Chains A and B, each alone.
Chain A
Amino acid sequence: MIEIKNLHKSYKMGSNSLHVLKGINFSVEEGELVAIMGSSGSGKSTLLNILGMLDEADSGEYTLDGVPIKNLNETKAANYRNKFLGFVFQSFNLINYKTAMENVALPLYYQRVARKEREKKALMYLERVGLKEWATHLPSELSGGQKQRVAIARAMAAEPKVLLADEPTGALDSKTSLEVMELIQKINDDGNTILIVTHEADIAQMCKRIVHLKDGVIVEDKKVKQVRASSYVQ
């Protein structure tokens, strides 16, 4: 599903250049649940941003579902993002004046899905995350866990090839984190490919594979036995 070869990225900081990614080779199969771990500054968020086409690599190859991703301009990137990717952010990033349902329906708007159809689909995905009754509520009326579930529903609504989650549990307490991870595991069970950036080891243990980043290179890439989030719940 994802193929990365020799990826480099550096940032200019005044006269200095900060080499963040120093040749990443990495691939993800369909249906995997991968945790990208590392301390802050290891380059894990940069990697996720490049995978999400929110940022562009300096050199290297990136192929997504057989499509080479290169020479991106904003319009092209927007198109790929809309077709291939779903995002879940640490800070939820819901639009505060839109209801839960409207937030979920938004990516469908950019896929030019008709309004009725959008609403139907949005409700369906809200139901899958267990928030159908909250469809008409504004984000400000939802708890943190509910917000993240709405964000996950929104990311899924576009039926992306890959779901990218940047510290999805970073702003949540441990109980809510488990609920969110349970949901992510469930979505993965349905066959969706998911990448999670996290620095929490227990969250990483709930994935099927852990990639360790340190100083811009992959130092460890191992399959793990998945810990089911449901096993924590009493």
Chain B
Amino acid sequence: MFDIERWQEIFDTIRKNKLRTFLTGLSVASGIFILVILLGFGQGMQNGIAKEFAADASNRIWVWTQVTTKEYKGLNPGRRIELKNENYDYVNSRFSDNLDKKSPVYRVRDVSVNYGKETIGYSIQGVSSGFQFIENQFLSQGRFINQSDEESVAKVIVISNKIKREYFKNGEDPMGEYLDLSGIKFKIIGVFGDVGGEREEDRMFIPITTAQRVFNGANQVNNLSYTLQPAESFEQAVVESMQFSQELKSYLQEVHSVAPDDGSAINVYNTLENAKRFYGLTGNIKFFFWFVGICTIIAGVVGVSNIMLIVVKERTREIGIRKALGAKPISIVGMILHEAIFVTAISGFSGLVFSMALLELVGPLIEVDYILNPSVNFNVALSTVFVLILAGALAGFFPAWRAAHIHTIDALRDQ
């Protein structure tokens, strides 16, 4: 291995057989390159999907209503279903063991929001304290709506970072300032941000009780939102939350006289169910990429073996000559293996470096939905290079061994 004469002999051979060396190298390098890129994108997809779901607490359950589409109990289709406070309260007490965070949502409509002379064109939602956790929001300043705000029907409002940026210029502090909601003053008590990004920040929050009472909501609720108590495992969490959504839906259908098979009147969205589908999908995609990658590597190995076979065949006569001049079989095998390993190693690593560099440079710039920061585990990539080198060595070894043990006369006769 450290025999400098051997190295020189090998470099001589490589230098004088450039095409052969290049082709061997190319098949190895491209195999590694394709594998790394594929694995990178597999990871990128998983990252991207994980990020989509990081937007909200991942076991969120969300209820919204539309009009009925089916006749039921003598009632015509086309009826608008409206959720009530009683529905919310009943669910709370019936499923109190399962529920973690909960909040009703009442969307305040037809209200103009003013700060000084400016009109703020974003919507207002009445919520409870639990909403912050359900929507995965963080507070940049102040606090969120709390229990006592709800009880005292306080005229307080939480704005978003985006609104703060747009309406409180020059670093003005919004805390303690008042917004004018159709003539009623609301005090700003907090500024929130949403990890889901800016489109989740196009709104402001006031206590649900205030929203209903001040803006003629009576006991109406637009949405119910919940998170469930964490379960032992992902699978169990999915089972529990599916069961909960099912029971929730049945209950609401019953009290609002909606046909059990009416698909659109009452809707329960369960992120976990979706997450499970997507996670399953990414798992499959990753598996697929691995499969393709491994096939590529196998193709690379076969390519290397093929080239090695041809190389040895082509060199049979040369091997005979070398043996006649006093080369031992072991030195013949050593020479061919040394060359094979050297070429596969160099080209394998250059394929690795090139593809990793490409992922590092281009990866973060990719802005496609569901693909985020494609990257690859360096150790995994490195191991594949070693597998390929080993395969190349094995592929070279058997023909080399055979060639070294052909009778010298027969090797010399080879044309």
Given contacts A75-B330, A98-B12, A110-B331, A158 and B409 within 8 Å (CB-CB): no
Closest CB of chain A to B325's CB: distance in Å?
4
A83 adjacent to B326 (CB under 8 Å): yes
Closest CB of chain A to B348's CB: distance in Å?
25
Bound Cα distance A74, B407 (Å):
9
Interface of B is mostly: helix
A93 adjacent to B12 (CB under 8 Å): no
Contacts of A55 in B (CB 8 A): 407, 409
* Binary contact readout A81-124 vs B (1 if CB under 8 angstroms, 0 otherwise): 11100010100011101100010001101111011000000000
A82 adjacent to B412 (CB under 8 Å): no
Centre residue among B12, B408, B409 by max chain A CB count within 10 A: B408
Interface size class of B (residues with CB under 8 A): 20 to 34
Bound Cα distance A95, B17 (Å):
13
A79 CB–B CB distance under 8 Å: yes
A78 CB–B CB distance under 8 Å: yes
Chain-A contact segment, one of B186-194, B242-250, B315-323: B315-323
Which residues of B3-19 have CB atoms within 8 Å of chain A's CB atoms? 5, 8-9, 12-13, 16-17
Contacts of B407 in A (CB 8 A): 54-55
B331 adjacent to A112 (CB under 8 Å): no
Partner of B325 from the list A114, A115, A154 (CB cut-off 8 Å) is: A154
Which residues of A149-176 have CB atoms within 8 Å of chain B's CB atoms? 154, 158
Contacts of A114 in B (CB 8 A): 5
Interface size class of A (residues with CB under 8 A): 20 to 34
Partner of B412 from the list A74, A89, A98 (CB cut-off 8 Å) is: A89
A10 CB–B CB distance under 8 Å: no
B328 CB–A CB distance under 8 Å: yes
* Binary contact readout B322-362 vs A (1 if CB under 8 angstroms, 0 otherwise): 11111111110000000000000000000000000000000
Extra inter-chain contacts (15) besides given A54-B409, A93-B320, A110-B322, CB under 8 Å: A52-B324, A54-B407, A55-B407, A78-B329, A82-B327, A87-B325, A93-B317, A93-B412, A94-B321, A95-B318, A95-B321, A106-B325, A107-B326, A109-B5, A115-B5
Contacts of B324 in A (CB 8 A): 52, 54, 81, 87, 93
Contacts of A158 in B (CB 8 A): 325-326
Closest CB of chain B to A162's CB: distance in Å?
14
Q: Would you give 22 A-B contacts (Cβ < 8 Å), ordered by A?
A: A49-B409, A54-B407, A74-B323, A74-B329, A78-B327, A78-B328, A78-B329, A79-B326, A81-B323, A81-B324, A82-B325, A83-B326, A87-B324, A87-B325, A94-B321, A97-B13, A106-B322, A110-B325, A110-B326, A110-B327, A110-B328, A110-B331
